[in-house]
Amino acid sequence: MPASSKIPIILLAAGASRRMRGGDKLLEEVDGLPLLRRQTMRAINATKGPVIVTLPPEGHARKEALTGLKVTTVPVPDAAHGMSVSLRRGLAQVPVDAGAVMVLLPDLPDLTTKDLVAVLDAADRTKDALIWRGTTSDGAAGHPIVFARALFAELASISGDTGGASVVARHSDKTSFIRLPGNRARLDLDTPEDWAKWRASQ
């Protein structure tokens, strides 16, 4: 189905992949593509708004994985200071007229364009919430997450490696949950063992 939402999407892809023991989880090949490119393409297909990708400093292979895609890339030289730095730099690229933003972690390989659209559409439809969050089919909270503009200042003030978790916790009473199939909203692949197990299940 064609995208109808104009909500921007930020993919946080500046982290170091330390648990991969020398590999890069976002460059692992899935469906013939680096995972980062595949998930970025899904984001592009989910929204009419801009897609913003935070990346390690210039010269990293992750940027090459995005060649030819219509995205805004944002190098994060101080990414070692935590996911919050990457989130702040991504937020700085969101258009001033955007009423919300989706934050997407690109290491969840089972999230589809349809899943992203479901969360974006919920954010466009239900205006009484401040946060819209994907869950597993049995209701366990996961990703992606959409934040209303009213929370941008809070998101820009966080520190450390928890991303927007503290903001989500403060506004649990204003969070709308969208059930996605299976475990897509939570299945991330951080280690070589995770990847081997996931590939064996495909």
3-state secondary structure of 40: helix
Question: Is 60 part of a structural domain of the chain?
Answer: yes
pLDDT at 20 over 60: no
Predicted TM-score (pTM) of the model is: 0.94
Question: Is 1 part of a structural domain of the chain?
Answer: no
Question: Is 131 part of a structural domain of the chain?
Answer: yes
Average pLDDT over every residue of 182-195: 89
Residues 132-174 pLDDT 10s: 999 999 999 999 999 999 999 999 998 776 668 889 999 999 9
What is the structure's pLDDT at 112?
A: 97
CATH code: domain of residue 174: 3.90.550.10
Question: Is 2 part of a structural domain of the chain?
Answer: no
Question: Is 3 part of a structural domain of the chain?
Answer: no
- Determine the straight-line distance between the first and last CA of the chain, rounded to whole angstroms: 25
Question: Is 4 part of a structural domain of the chain?
Answer: no
Residue predicted with more confidence, 74 or 60: 74
Residues 26-36 pLDDT 10s: 999 999 999 99
Question: Is 44 part of a structural domain of the chain?
Answer: yes
Per the structure, the count of domains in the chain is 1
Spatial strand order in the sheet of 51-55 = 72-75, 51-55, 9-12, 100-104, 141-148, 131-135, 175-179
Token pair for residue 83? 């996911």
Output the CA angle 132-137-54, nearest 5 degrees. 45
Find the domain containing 85 and state its range.
9-201
Question: Is 196 part of a structural domain of the chain?
Answer: yes
